Homo-oligomer: A and B are copies of this chain.
Amino acid sequence: MNDVVAALANAIGAQYVIDDPAAMAPYLTDWRGRYTGRAIAVVRPGSTQETADIVRICASANVPMVPQGGNTGLCGGATPLPDGGSVLVSMARMHRIRTVDAANNALVAEAGCTLAAVQQAAEGGDRLFPLSLASEGSCLVGGNISTNAGGVQVLRYGNMRDLVLGVEVVLPDGRVWNGLRSLRKDNTGYDLKQLFIGAEGTLGIVTAAALKLFPRPRARATAWVAVPDPRAAVDLLSLLRDRCGERATAFELVGRSALDLVLQHIPAMRAPLAGVHDWHVLVELADALDGEALDDMLERTIAAAIDSGLAVDAAVASSIAQAHALWALRENISEAQKIEGISIKHDISVPVSAIPDFLLQAQQALAAIWPDVRIVTFGHLGDGNLHYNLSKPGAVDNAEFVARTRDVNRIVHDLVGALNGSISAEHGIGQLKREENARYKSEVELDLMRAVKRALDPHGLMNPGKVI
């Protein structure tokens, strides 16, 4: 292995090849602290050519590689296995915005740009890059691509996959594929970029991407709406899209227990409505129109919803500060739940129309085996994507709670499967859900995935032990 480390240092400079255990440590444990791996070295290429050199050196020595972006993933996909046989390739030094082409509504960013830097580059060209996540200040765009990141504006703009026009990739044999086309239409064969989006680095290393830009909205309108039940929330979404068309950019469900945790644990949070309600929706519209027209449209839509029983009360933000305060209630749920104690988390999706059935059936099935469990539900209802978490009941100790994870997963994921849903809507598979995923995919689909993996990475060198 000393030969490999020496060859890597020779290729990209010794200062960018880290093999001191203390210096490697931050790269070897995932953000949630669930996984800690080991590595031969951490290498930090500064260019596509250097990334290709690294891959060629590792491939010829049969050394596996683990690509890593901002190390903010939730499934351990960027953490090496404990065997210590891999080289970790951190893409953080490749952080150039190569081009911004406002007239083509596209920019080209290197994999190591933070999502926030990409958003800012788009704003510099008077455009919007719409992907928006809690970790946007530290996650890297290469990781966003490799995990097909989602977030709070998918309803209007789609997932990361929908925002990628082209990619540059170092293949597992060290060759560079320049697929950096910034075209809206290109039907010249298989759309190879799709293979690398969402592949979590198991098929190659994304080094740069051409990304779609959009007109910057001039106005936003935001409201917190209490709804009688999840079925009404789904109907409210239909009403909203019917009346406001594609202006609807966010439609987030917040269950009562989720709001209660935020109000209890996060300083300076205030209940947005006077009464107590079991279910809420955070709605946002955005448009090129001026703000008053948009507020008016939202208010009239909510009034119609109240008239027809789809909503029971609502607060429409009358200032940007108020809109931020409403969003803070939504964005602090994960933090509040962490303060409350440990929880069993799920990141599921089902067809939007099946959300009410999912919630009812999951609650009944869980209550049957565990009467005092607390279900904390929130998420992107507009995308059919819920974060469906169980908080530990006070009377149960941590170990006992964790021991029930498998039983709980079986109930939740079996139900998701029966509703033709997904057990990982936006977080990916990584190490965390690899076995669970194999349980729910058909043998045909697993075979296809294995065939793709073999075709692109026949020696299994890219991010082993992840996804498949």
Q: Which residues of A contact B (CB under 8 A)?
A: 101-106, 126, 147-148, 150, 154-155, 158-159, 161-162, 171, 175-192, 194-195, 197-199, 203, 214-215, 217, 234-235, 237-238, 241-247, 287-289, 349-354, 380, 382-385, 420-429, 433, 437, 440-442, 444-445, 448-449, 451-456, 467-468
Contacts and interface: CB of A to CB of B under 8 A. Distances in A.
A185 B422 contact: yes
B242 A288 contact: yes
B189 A351 contact: no
A179 B245 contact: no
11 contacts: A161-B191, A162-B162, A183-B425, A187-B422, A187-B427, A189-B467, A195-B195, A215-B241, A215-B245, A451-B456, A454-B455
Contact of A422 (B181, B351, B421, B452): B181
A350 B183 contact: yes
A198 B187 contact: yes
A191 B189 contact: no
Contacts of A246: 214-215, 246, 288
Contacts of A454: 455
A99 to B, nearest CB: 10
B234 A185 contact: no
Given A176-B444, A215-B245, 19 more contacts: A103-B235, A148-B191, A171-B448, A181-B420, A181-B422, A182-B351, A183-B351, A186-B425, A187-B425, A188-B423, A188-B424, A189-B449, A190-B448, A191-B194, A215-B246, A243-B288, A246-B246, A451-B456, A454-B455
A147 B147 CA distance: 27
Contacts of A148: 187, 191
A191 B192 CA distance: 11
A175 B217 CA distance: 47
A150 B426 CA distance: 28
Contacts of A422: 181, 183, 185-188
Nearest to A165: B351
A180 B421 CA distance: 10
A224 to B, nearest CB: 22
Contact of A351 (B101, B198, B452): B101
A350 to B, nearest CB: 7
A420 B187 contact: no
A188 B452 contact: no
Contacts of A186: 349, 422, 424-425
Contacts of A384: 104, 183-185
Given A288-B243, A384-B104, A449 B190 contact: yes
B456 A106 contact: no
Contacts of A177: 442, 444-445, 448
B185 A441 contact: no
Q: Nearest 4 A-B pairs (CB), nearest first?
A: A245-B288, A194-B194, A455-B455, A103-B353
A128 to B, nearest CB: 10
Nearest to A452: B190
Contacts of A161: 191
B188 A441 contact: yes
A201 to B, nearest CB: 12
A189 B245 CA distance: 32
A163 to B, nearest CB: 11
A76 to B, nearest CB: 14
A384 B420 CA distance: 37
Of the listed residues A159, A175, A217, A288, the one surrounded by the most CB atoms of chain B closer than 10 A to its CB is A288
A119 to B, nearest CB: 18
Contacts of A105: 241, 352
Contacts of A353: 101, 103-104
